[in-house]
Structure formats: C-alpha cells, structure tokens
C-alpha cells in the first residue's frame, strides 16, 4: 500500500480541509431544510426536496469513483470546493430575486451532483495516505471530524437562522468552502495516470462492469450486504432525516434552536460511534457487527414515545434526543466497520470505482425513503408515533437479514 506511515501531513491536511468544508455544508443544509419546512409546513414538499437532491448523488457516484481512479484526487477535491463556494455565492445573490423554494431545490440538486464526485475521491484517498495498520483508526478519525463539523454546524446554524439574515449565513458557507479548497491545494496524494484508449462512455461502462464483477464474483457476501444497507437507508436513515425536523418543528412546535441541538446530538452520537469503533475493532469481528444494527434500531423506540408526548414537549424532546443518540452511535459504528472491510479487500487501482459503487447501491433507496416518509407524516400527522413504529419494525427485519448474511463471513474465515 502506498502512502505515508502513521499520520502524515497530507492526511492531516485532508482532515482539516474536511472539517472546514463540512462545517459550511452542515450550516447550509440545516438552514435550507429548516427554511423549506418553515415556509411550506409540508412534510411532503420537505421530503420531496430532500429526495430529489439525493438522486444525483446516487446516479453519478459510480462515475465519480471512476474519475477518482483516473484523475488526481486532490485536483478533484480542490476544484469542487471552489465550484461549491462560487455556487453558494451566486445563490446568495439570486435569493432576493427568485422563487426561494424552486431555487433551493435547484441548488440542493447541484450540491448533490458535486457530492457524487467529491466523496469517492475523499474515501479512495484514505488508503493512499495511511498504512493498513492505521486504516481503521483513519476511517474512524474521518468519521469523527465529519461528526464534529455536524455537531457545531447545526448549533451555529440554529442561532444564525433565528437571529441573522439568510444572506450572511450563505456568506459564511461560501468562505468555509473557499478556505477548504485553498488548504487542499497543499495535499500530495500518490497518483499514477492511466492511459486512456477508450472514449468516456466506453470507459464508464467498462469500469462499472469491472466493479460489479469484483463485488459479485470475488466478494459475494459484501455484494449482498450492499442491498441490505440500501434497505436500512430506506427504512431507518430516511426516517431520521425526515422525521426529526418534522416532529420537532411541526408536531412539538419547538424552535430552530431545539432542532439545532438535536442535530448536534446526532453529531455527538457519530463521534461516540467513531471512537467506539477504534476501541472495539480488536474485539469484535465483522461477522458480529450486526449487533450494532439491532441496537441502532432499538433507538427508534424512544423517538416513537417522544413523538406521542405532545402535551409535554420538553419531556418528549429528551426522549427523542436519547433515541437519536443511540441510533446514530451504533449506525456509525457499523459504518466504520463496513467501510474498513471494503477498503482492506479492494486493490488501490479499483478503490475509487468500488467505493463509489458501494455508495451508490447503499444510498439508492434513500431518496425513495425520504419521499415515502414525507407523504406518511402528512397523511398520519395526528399519529406520528405510528409512522415511527412502522419504521422501527421494518428496520429490525432488515437487521435480521444482515445477521443471516454476515454469519457467512465466519464460515468463509474472513476477518477485518
């Protein structure tokens, strides 16, 4: 494996750039989603916009992975951060003269496209910047810094949304992406340019076939696991994405600051899960990691209880915070295990396309889940707790399927 031994300056620079970039992204996504919900009071529109913004990421991620194997990954990250900075600045100018909901939908779609090309480059770069001994810890660190940005982003975003004009919030996000791009200019990521003897379309088709062949024929257990994770995103992740803001803002009628702290609690759970991954990685093998999913699903139950306690919103809020902490902590723990498992079994020359294909399959059901829950919350607005319980039961059934599939790892003798 190529790259610096231990923690090199290039890995540290990438991590710092991620913190700054994700901080701006966290503020932006929080404020835009809250603005849509406050303006329309419709879970259907809210869930629909979230779903539509996810589609480009699902469709284009495999192409982003292919490009990350053929173009210098640092250049991809730098270029896309500069583009994002310019996009948000343009959005700030147009916000005063255009239909806000339509404009927000358009911007979120473009951001989804950018994310589809950006994230595969980041994930594929990690094995090139640290050795295999530090790979699990490196993935955990990336998850932690992402969670830290998510921790402070919503807190700052919640207070800014309550007291500051939207234009200034957009300016802050613009500056964050610009600083991130400048920092990433100094990263050195090992790259060997491949000769291109095919057209773009043939290259995309050929590389996609190569990724499918590798996963289906050489890693069949992992291939099946991708569809299980897609089902979890359909029933669990989408439930949290649409359900939390709707319950807090519409059902319990709490302010943006409460939603900001709820988002921060999600980040705290992510940090705890990433830290826990480094602690338990030597004690728990991948074939036992399904336990994390069961515990994550159990975390939905306090959220269901909280959504039913509409007469005492503060008590309900406490139940919801506890539930989301449990959900995200153990979901992050499983995610770090899974990502490391993929990386340790994928050759570096295939890393970008494989990671992108994994992301695309795993998240393909996410937009459908967001749209589905948006409609359900509107139809059952007086029985929100019932929607939460339905999501919990379906998520548990998917976790059972994960248990059955991961048992095969032990039979094959595979370990992380």
**Coil, helix or strand at residue 254:** coil
Contact 114, 80 (CB under 8 A): yes
Q: Is 283 exposed, middle or buried (0-12, 13-18, 19+ CB in 10 A)?
A: exposed
Mean pLDDT across the stretch 31-53?
A: 79
Q: What is the DSSP string of 149-194?
A: HHHHHHHHHHHHHHHS-HHHHHHHHHHHHHHHHHHHTT------PP
Give the count of beta carbons closer than 10 Å to the beta carbon of residue 237. 21
CATH number of 9-188+198-412: 1.20.1250.20
Q: Give the pLDDT confidence of 324-363 residue by residue, as tens digits.
A: 999 989 988 887 777 777 777 777 777 767 776 777 777 7
∠ CA(23), CA(27), CA(28), 5° rounding?
A: 115
Separation between Cα atoms, residue 92 and residue 89, nearest integer Å: 5
Question: Helix or strand or coil: residue 122?
Answer: helix
Alpha carbons within 13 angstroms on the beta-carbon side of residue 414 total 19
pLDDT digits (tens, 9 = 90+) for 227-248: 888 888 889 888 988 888 889 8
Say which range, 47-61, 99-113, 158-172, 235-249, has the weakest mean pLDDT.
47-61
Residue 3: the pLDDT is 43
Residue with tokens 């920092």: 183
Q: Which of 16-30, 67-81, 373-387 has the highest mean pLDDT?
A: 373-387
Annotated domain spans of the chain = 9-188+198-412
pLDDT at 195: 58
> How far is residue 37 from each of residues 50, 88, 101, 238, 265, measured CA to CA in Å?
11, 20, 10, 16, 20
Q: Which residue has the higher pLDDT, 355 or 165?
A: 165
Distance CA 182, CA 279 (A): 34
Q: Is the pLDDT of residue 317 over 90?
A: yes
Confidence of residue 415 (pLDDT cuts 50, 70, 90): low
Question: What's the maximum distance between 2 C-alpha atoms anywhere in the chain?
Answer: 67
Contact criterion met (CB below 8 Å) for 36 and 49: yes
d(CA 251, CA 53): 25
pLDDT band at 1 (very low <50, low <70, confident <90, very high): very low
User: pLDDT tens, 74-105?
Assistant: 888 899 999 999 999 998 888 777 678 888 88
The burial of 109, by beta-carbon neighbours within 10 Å (0-12 exposed, 13-18 middle, 19 or more buried), is given as middle
pLDDT of residue 394: 92
């Amino acid at each position: 494996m190529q790259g610096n031994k231990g923690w090199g300056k290039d890995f540290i620079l990438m991590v710092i750039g991620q913190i700054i970039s994700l901080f701006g992204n966290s503020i932006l996504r929080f404020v835009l989603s809250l603005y849509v919900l406050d303006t329309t009071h419709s879970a259907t529109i809210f869930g629909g916009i979230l779903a539509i913004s996810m589609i480009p990421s699902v469709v284009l991620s495999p192409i982003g992975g292919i490009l990350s194997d053929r173009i210098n990954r640092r250049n991809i990250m730098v270029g896309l951060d500069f583009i994002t900075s310019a996009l948000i600045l343009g959005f700030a100018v147009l916000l005063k003269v255009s239909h806000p909901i339509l404009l927000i939908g358009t911007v979120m779609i473009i951001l989804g496209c950018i994310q589809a090309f950006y994230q595969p480059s980041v994930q594929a770069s990690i094995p090139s910047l640290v050795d295999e001994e530090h790979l699990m810890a490196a993935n955990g660190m990336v998850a932690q810094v992402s969670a830290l940005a998510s921790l402070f982003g919503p807190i700052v975003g919640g207070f800014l949304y309550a007291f500051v004009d939207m234009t200034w919030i957009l300016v802050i996000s613009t500056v964050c992406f610009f600083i991130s791009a400048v920092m990433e200019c100094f990263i050195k990521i090992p790259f060997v340019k491949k000769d291109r003897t095919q057209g773009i379309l043939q290259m995309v088709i050929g590389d996609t076939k190569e990724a499918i062949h590798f996963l289906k024929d050489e890693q069949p257990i992992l291939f099946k696991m991708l569809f299980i994770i897609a089902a979890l995103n359909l029933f669990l992740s989408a439930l949290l994405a649409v359900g939390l803001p709707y319950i807090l803002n519409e059902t319990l009628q709490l302010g943006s600051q409460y939603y900001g702290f709820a988002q921060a609690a999600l980040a705290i759970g992510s940090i705890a899960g990433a830290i826990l991954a480094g602690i338990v990685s030597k004690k728990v093998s991948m074939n036992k990691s399904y336990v994390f999913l069961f515990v994550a699903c159990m975390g939905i139950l306090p959220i269901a209880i909280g959504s039913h306690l509409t007469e005492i919103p503060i008590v309900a809020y406490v139940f919801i915070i506890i539930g989301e902490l449990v959900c995200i902590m153990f979901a992050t723990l499983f995610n770090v295990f899974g990502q490391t498992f993929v990386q340790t079994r994928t050759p570096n020359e295939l890393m970008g396309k494989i990671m992108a294909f994994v992301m695309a399959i795993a998240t393909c059901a996410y937009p459908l889940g967001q749209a589905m829950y948006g409609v359900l919350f509107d139809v059952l607005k007086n029985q929100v707790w019932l929607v939460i319980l339905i999501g919990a039961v379906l998520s548990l059934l998917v976790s059972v399927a994960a248990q059955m599939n991961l048992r095969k790892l032990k039979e094959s003798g595979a370990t992380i």
